[in-house]
Amino acid sequence: MRINVLRQACCSADDQINRLDAVYEVDSKATMETLLGKICESDFLQYSSTHDRLSVEIDDRQVAEVFPSAPPVWMADVGPETPVKWLVGDRTLHFVFRLTDRYVDTSRSANLPQTTSIAVSAGEHSAYGVMGALAAFGFAWVALNTVLESYYLDDAEKWPISLLAALAGFIIGRTVHRSKTRL
């Protein structure tokens, strides 16, 4: 596989002296650990005293951070064993300097600042569920009293149908929230 790699210059002289793009050849069964190791060992990446960590990104999604003399720190949903063809494919791998910490996997990284929080609060999660439940209940109730009125359903039959719709809406709302919080 041919992997296109772009990197950000670490200083104004870097972009004039060194190349900012490269192509790496890896086996189709290669892992991200193999690819990053190959890139880091090739001296393609450049650092300075003020720019000492690069964010590894694919389509603006951070997958890892690399340092001049330390192993990569992987994001929570990406690991070193992730196949390159699944994660990168035919897209370009970007190495960008970031001044602020992104949320990294605490099991593989050094101590994070105490202000960093990657957990989703239970209140947020439930709020999406409640919003979904209310929307589904309202939609079901309106549909039963307008479009589906011709089925001659009485109130004793409409309530359980609306409550089932609310339950489905709650589940859908929580699922939507969970999918929005994952990268």
Per-residue pLDDT tens over the stretch 98-147: 765 544 444 444 444 444 344 456 677 788 888 888 888 888 888 888 88
Closest residue by Cα to residue 35 from 22, 26, 48, 47: 26
Can you tell me the mean pLDDT for 74-102? Answer: 81
pLDDT at 78 > cutoff 70: yes
Take residue 14 and report the two structure tokens written for it. 């870097």
Separation CA 89–CA 7 (nearest Å): 18
Contact 124, 177 (CB under 8 A): yes
Percentage of the chain lying above the pLDDT 70 cut: 84
Closest residue by Cα to residue 74 from 43, 32, 35: 32
- In this structure, the number of other CB atoms found within 10 A of the CB of residue 54 comes to 25
pLDDT at 183 > cutoff 50: no
pTM of structure: 0.52
- In this structure, the number of other CB atoms found within 10 A of the CB of residue 9 comes to 16
Percentage of the chain lying above the pLDDT 90 cut: 5
Contact 36, 64 (CB under 8 A): yes
Q: Helix 122-145 crosses helix 155-181 at what angle (to 10 degrees)?
A: 140
pLDDT at 11 > cutoff 50: yes
pLDDT at 181 > cutoff 60: no
Long-range contacts of 19-22 (CB under 8 A, 24+ apart): 19/44
Contact 4, 21 (CB under 8 A): yes
Q: How far is CA 51 from the centre of its chain?
A: 24
